[in-house]
Amino acid sequence: MLLTVMTSLLYVLAINAAVRSFGNGYPGVLAVGHLKQKTQALGLWVRHMAVHPFSREHPDPLPILKAAAKRHRVPSDLVIAIARAESALKPHRISAAGAMGLMQLMPGTAADLKVKDPFDTEENIDGGVRYVRFLWKRYRGDRRRIAAAYNFGPGHVPRRGALRLPGETRHYVNKVVGKKRATR
């Protein structure tokens, strides 16, 4: 029993240390939440680095973000604001929840969007912007709801009516679209 506990503790420490070291994320060293997603993200990062061992240098993401926004018919300023809020434009970022790359795609979302290498700048941006396009249509261009759904998930953000968001998501929405009005 003690061996199982110690093994589990070492696993948690190793995963969180790897996310901090390689993915520039900030999970707590003993954070047990999202272990599956963080493990998946690290596996995809290792695969990316095996195929692209010198990919620490990346193209400027701003022209790629603008081109993807134009291609998918969404405002480039919204896409750029989301990318800045998500990753500070760092393509190898892994979040404490296991979100990956510049647009911080969760492993399941990346798979749904058919993004094979979420650490490839262009592929990650294209997938993230396609997701923004989906949200743009769903929320009819309501930037506050789009930002909230990108952060909190569309299942938690109603198409109409009051926005009841947790503090972290309210902060995120204000960071992306500004403080036009308070949300509860």
- Domains of the chain are 1-138 (1.10.530)
Which residue among the candidates 57, 86, 122, 123 is catalytic per the annotation? 86
How does pLDDT run across 62-76, given as a tens digit for each residue? 999 999 999 999 999
pLDDT at 52: 80
Condensed to tens digits (0 to 9), the pLDDT of residues 80-101 reads 999 999 999 999 999 999 999 9
What is the structure's pLDDT at 180?
Answer: 57
Taking the CA atoms of residue 166, residue 170, residue 176 and residue 180 in that order, the dihedral angle to the nearest 10 degrees is 150
Whether 86 is catalytic: yes
DSSP letter at 120 equals: S
- Look over the chain and give the mean of its residue pLDDT values, rounded to a whole number: 91
Spatial contact of 41 and 100, defined as CB atoms under 8 Å apart:
yes
**What b/e string do you get for 59-89 counting C-beta neighbours within 10 Å, with b at 16 or more?**
eebeebbeebbeebebeeebbbbbbbbbbeb
pLDDT digits (tens, 9 = 90+) for 147-182: 999 999 999 999 999 999 999 999 999 999 986 554
pLDDT of the residue at 48? 92
Residue-level pLDDT at 37: 94
